[in-house]
Amino acid sequence: WKKDEFRNCNQTPFCKRARAFKPGSCSLVAHDVSINDGDLTAKLLPRNQDPDLPSKPLLLALSVYQDGIVRLRIDEDPSLGPPKKRFQVPDVILDEFLSKKLWLQRISTETIGPDLSPSSIVYLSDGYEAVLRQDPFEVFVREKSGKRVLSLNSHGLFDFEQLRVKEEDEDWEEKFRGHTDTRPYGPQSISFDVSFYDADFVYGIPERATSLALKPTRGPDVEESEPYRLFNLDVFEYVHESPFGIYGSIPFMISHGKVRGTSGFFWLNAAEMQIDVLGSGWDAESGIPLPSSQSRIDTFWMSEAGIVDTFFFVGPGPKDVVRQYTSVTGTSAMPQLFATAYHQCRWNYRDEEDVAHVDSKFDEHDIPYDVLWLDIEHTDGKRYFTWDKALFPNPEEMQRKLAAKGRHMVTIVDPHIKRDDSFPLHKEATKKGYYVKDAAGNDYDGWCWPGSSSYLDMLSPEIRSWWGEKFSFENYVGSTPSLYIWNDMNEPSVFNGPEVTMPRNALHQGGVEHRELHNVYGYYFHMATAEGLVKRGNGKDRPFVLSRALFAGTQRYGAVWTGDNSADWDHLRVSVPMVLTLGLTGLSFSGADVGGFFGNPETALLVRWFQLGAFYPFFRGHAHHDTKRREPWLFGERNTELMRDAIRVRYMLLPYFYTLFREANTSGIPVLRPLWMEFPSDEVTFQNDEAFMVGSTLLVQGIYTKEAKKVSVYLPGKQSWYDFRTGTTYRGGITHQLEVSEESIPAFQKAGTIMPRKDRFRRSSTQMVNDPYTLVVALNSSQAAEGELYIDDGKSFEFKQGAFIHRRFVFSGGKLTSLNVGPLASSSTKFSSNCVIERIILLGHSGSKSALVEPENRTVDMELGPLHFQTGQHASVLTIRKPNLLITDDWTVKIL
């Protein structure tokens, strides 16, 4: 990690200054509180105005939305002629969300506690109220009972630098490592404190490699640390434990505590942001009166530019907060089925022969995979949308050969366009003026893979639409319908730019400075690419686009991965909190490079990584071009077997994963979840980021050391758990010391759940479509269980019109019932399936010999069978043999 190449807080003037503020330094008071257009509005002015130099007021607007969401906006008054309109991030908030606004009618006024001035209170939901305290200015959300949930500026750290004219002999320039930022608009930063009440921990604000529960960065007993940084950067060889921000930014924080539950705070702002988590007692010497004595976690938010556009989410459960947040920024797009399976990537599969070879080796070893990836070397001189003619003379044929086995291909398309006059894309973009401009107004010229490059201005819808057209089969010569896209380097990465990115004073359309939208640049690029693929398929084919840069809302456009990690155990370990954090902040479809990008993983690490990676929502093996080949069959027979088993676990669970992706698509609840999301009152889980839940059914514990013989696994809750491989029962609520097996990492099915599987393995997920299901019913202490299964065509958008099957399986009273929770059979667009359930496994039940299928009144056999078809497995679990029930039907199986 090249630490020196990146600015720390002390080298970042706005951050350094803001961090020096003392609590209570804000003197703003709310005036003219009223209702306008259904919002609560006010003007913020300093308490003691200098009569000679009157301050310009800030305009405050507080809106309330369904489901307990408060939006607070603070900006300069446009009618007072500021030098420039401050940037407000468009295209992130769903229109649908805006339509959920509650039009405020009345304000009640109350003087709270020892306050001298009144507060304005508005209705938020049945249990909650939003409050604007006028003096000192503060906004908070409270329960009707008066208990606070979230507050902004309770410590008086709010500061808003209004744009102004440069004074004489004032110098606005900032220099860093030979780069000069002219800062033509001068200081414009914003900072404020946010408190989360009754919280034990805060989480979120990706992307960085660090623990799930965010450690304090300032305060007594806290080792002085940098704030958590949100600034999208291409960080070479990032380290596994650092508050430093990497490729993406989601300024959304979640708090969780045993007493009250969960709340969330989101600041929609795309400029550089720095966030301190303050250790308790940090304000002990401030001497200011605090409005509440509730326990809390304080945080301090700083941004270089933009406006205050913040959202308060009341929860109260973890899933509620995620649902509320994703109602604002959108839920995860429904991926195609193939995209949820295993991806094989390497920088680079050299040529068509190499591709054919790797493909055939998977078949030779009977290892399923769905997608083969091509990195930058497949292009003609890093001109995206082209092929190296010598290495890939027949790209269409190559894709067709893969497609004949139901497999797909992904090629890389990065945002830097080679400045080459013979490259039509560049010529056209130049002619149309579609590039981001430098501070002098010329096309910005930076350096990336192709050498001298320019960058499209994706802020403009026109340019995005133009870009999208480039993915049509006519424009992208050599592409076929089975080809999908990978967007890398979209932070954007600029090798010769300040901090390896674009200068902050580069200009986008409408005079927007790059500093104002930096963190959303990659998001727009991802969006434009995904929309291009939709267009390519005439709106019928779900896109698949993997992006490295990310922002709030990225989940609507596709998958992300955690970038250039390293082949070491620490990176395997940290991938879990990284993926969990992304999930908590709405971005379900993520994963880390299996094996680690840089360096050569030792075999044991590679095997463990496959075993863990099989549970990442996005499961892809990838490697740097300087590393040794590491396809699963290269490490001896035994290791091939172990890696095949790991990949097969994923394929076996595809029906379950796909159901979880649908859940994420409808509710925002992530596929991979921290334990506390499923067990919110179990304190032991709050900091656990070694284990995670896959949905609400499966708990997985990674193995993060080579020599591990024993592992401690905490199994939360009162119910027991069944070993995923053997069916052995373990008690919940305690930590178990378990023998480590080389064959798999520990995984457990929660009692009371039903998991759908497909136990037949094919070349790829495509051939599994008609294969029969297995249901694993894990009974709880009351001999009950339930689970769900979602199926659609795995490809099109017809599910949006109701073309899907959604079943709920309920086991109780000795009967397993399949219920329809999807569209009615009479629905006009219908998806159908001939799939049957070939096997039902009952965990936690014994003694029965047969079962009765109703309504047919057919008797089926029960016997002992293996839980898995891995070699060496024994018949040990009660199995209903060949019930052959149609997945589409309502039925009941009664244990006799």
- What does the DSSP 8-state code read for residue 510? G
The reply to whether 761 sits near another protein by the rule CB under 8 A is: yes
SS3 579: helix
Of 3, 144, 718, 874, the residue at the interface with another protein (CB under 8 A) is: 874
Q: What is the largest CA-CA distance in the chain?
A: 93
The reply to whether 647 sits near another protein by the rule CB under 8 A is: no
Considering beta carbons, is residue 245 or 368 the nearer one to another protein?
368
Q: 3-state DSSP helix/strand/coil percent for the chain, to nearest 5?
A: 20, 30, 50
The reply to whether 401 sits near another protein by the rule CB under 8 A is: no
The reply to whether 858 sits near another protein by the rule CB under 8 A is: no
Q: How far apart are CA 893 and CA 896, in angstroms?
A: 9
Instruction: Give helix 654-667 / helix 637-652 axis angle, nearest 10°.
Output: 50
Tell me the residue type at 55: S
Pair of tokens at residue 19: 């961090």
Of 628, 637, 710, 855, the residue at the interface with another protein (CB under 8 A) is: 628
Of 870, 891, 892, 894, the residue at the interface with another protein (CB under 8 A) is: 870
Residues 6+ apart with CB under 8 A from 626: none
From the list 205-213, 222-230, 279-287, 402-410, the region that binds another protein by CB under 8 A is: 402-410
The reply to whether 771 sits near another protein by the rule CB under 8 A is: yes
Q: Which residues are catalytic?
A: 488, 491, 564
Of 529, 562, 627, 701, the residue at the interface with another protein (CB under 8 A) is: 627
Of 22, 179, 427, 540, the residue at the interface with another protein (CB under 8 A) is: 179
Pair of tokens at residue 199: 């919280």
The reply to whether 724 sits near another protein by the rule CB under 8 A is: no
Cα 710 to chain center, whole Å? Answer: 32
Phi, psi of 341 (to 5 degrees): -95, -165
Phi-psi category of 365—alpha, beta or left, where left has phi over 0 and alpha has psi -120 to 50? Answer: alpha
Of 383, 536, 763, 807, the residue at the interface with another protein (CB under 8 A) is: 763
Of 67, 135, 143, 354, the residue at the interface with another protein (CB under 8 A) is: 354
Considering beta carbons, is residue 1 or 103 the nearer one to another protein?
1
231, 515 contact by CB (below 8 A): no
The reply to whether 361 sits near another protein by the rule CB under 8 A is: no
**Contact string 217-246 vs another protein (x = CB under 8 A):** -------------------x----------
862, 850 contact by CB (below 8 A): yes
The reply to whether 795 sits near another protein by the rule CB under 8 A is: no
Min separation Cβ 889 and another protein, Å: 19
SS3 761: coil
The reply to whether 760 sits near another protein by the rule CB under 8 A is: yes
The reply to whether 851 sits near another protein by the rule CB under 8 A is: no
The reply to whether 106 sits near another protein by the rule CB under 8 A is: no
Pair of tokens at residue 691: 């284990």
The reply to whether 881 sits near another protein by the rule CB under 8 A is: yes
The reply to whether 11 sits near another protein by the rule CB under 8 A is: no
Min separation Cβ 631 and another protein, Å: 10
Min separation Cβ 750 and another protein, Å: 25
Which positions from 547 through 576 interact with another protein, judged by CB under 8 A?
564
* Residues facing residue 754 across a β-bridge: 777
Of 449, 722, 748, 809, the residue at the interface with another protein (CB under 8 A) is: 449
Q: How far apart are CA 209 and CA 767, in angstroms?
A: 37
> Site size for another protein, by CB under 8 A?
57
Considering beta carbons, is residue 771 or 890 the nearer one to another protein?
771
Min separation Cβ 657 and another protein, Å: 18
In Å, how far are 42, 44, 59, 86, 130 from 30, measured between CA atoms? 6, 5, 9, 21, 15
Min separation Cβ 566 and another protein, Å: 12
**Contact string 419-448 vs another protein (x = CB under 8 A):** --------------------------xxxx
Considering beta carbons, is residue 447 or 730 the nearer one to another protein?
447
SS3 4: helix
- What does the DSSP 8-state code read for residue 854? E
Cα 240 to chain center, whole Å? Answer: 18
Nearest in space to 593 (alpha carbons), one of 618, 569, 570: 618
Min separation Cβ 877 and another protein, Å: 12
Considering beta carbons, is residue 716 or 883 the nearer one to another protein?
883
Of 16, 17, 164, 405, the residue at the interface with another protein (CB under 8 A) is: 405
The reply to whether 404 sits near another protein by the rule CB under 8 A is: yes
From the list 73-81, 509-517, 543-551, 863-871, the region that binds another protein by CB under 8 A is: 863-871
The reply to whether 648 sits near another protein by the rule CB under 8 A is: yes
Considering beta carbons, is residue 126 or 637 the nearer one to another protein?
637
The reply to whether 292 sits near another protein by the rule CB under 8 A is: no
713, 735 contact by CB (below 8 A): yes
Nearest in space to 297 (alpha carbons), one of 223, 198, 174: 198
Considering beta carbons, is residue 174 or 531 the nearer one to another protein?
174
Nearest in space to 624 (alpha carbons), one of 604, 600, 607: 600
721, 748 contact by CB (below 8 A): yes
Min separation Cβ 821 and another protein, Å: 28
The reply to whether 837 sits near another protein by the rule CB under 8 A is: no
Q: How far apart are CA 393 and CA 35, in angstroms?
A: 66
Min separation Cβ 171 and another protein, Å: 18
The bridge status of strand 159-160 relative to strand 190-197 is antiparallel
The reply to whether 500 sits near another protein by the rule CB under 8 A is: yes
The reply to whether 624 sits near another protein by the rule CB under 8 A is: yes
Considering beta carbons, is residue 217 or 386 the nearer one to another protein?
386
3-state secondary structure 48-66: CCCCCCCCCCEEEEEEEEC
Of 84, 401, 470, 762, the residue at the interface with another protein (CB under 8 A) is: 762
Give the CA-trace dihedral at 459, 93, 319, 570, to 10 degrees: 10
The reply to whether 882 sits near another protein by the rule CB under 8 A is: yes
The reply to whether 834 sits near another protein by the rule CB under 8 A is: no
Range list of H helices, 369-460 = 395-404, 424-432
Min separation Cβ 869 and another protein, Å: 5
Of 759, 788, 823, 831, the residue at the interface with another protein (CB under 8 A) is: 759
The bridge status of strand 698-701 relative to strand 69-76 is unpaired
The reply to whether 540 sits near another protein by the rule CB under 8 A is: no
Residues 6+ apart with CB under 8 A from 406: 338, 370, 762, 763, 764, 765, 766, 767
Phi-psi category of 24—alpha, beta or left, where left has phi over 0 and alpha has psi -120 to 50? Answer: left
Min separation Cβ 379 and another protein, Å: 13
Of 2, 431, 709, 710, the residue at the interface with another protein (CB under 8 A) is: 2
**Contact string 256-285 vs another protein (x = CB under 8 A):** ------------------------------
The reply to whether 400 sits near another protein by the rule CB under 8 A is: no
- DSSP secondary structure letters along 15-82: HHHHHTPPTT---EEEEEEEEETTEEEEEEEESS--TTSPPPPEEEEEEEETTTEEEEEEEE-GGG--
Residues that bind another protein (CB under 8 A): 2, 4-5, 177-179, 236, 350, 353-354, 357, 366, 368, 390, 404-406, 445-449, 451-452, 494-496, 500, 564, 600, 624-629, 648, 759-763, 767, 771, 838-839, 865-866, 869-875, 881-882
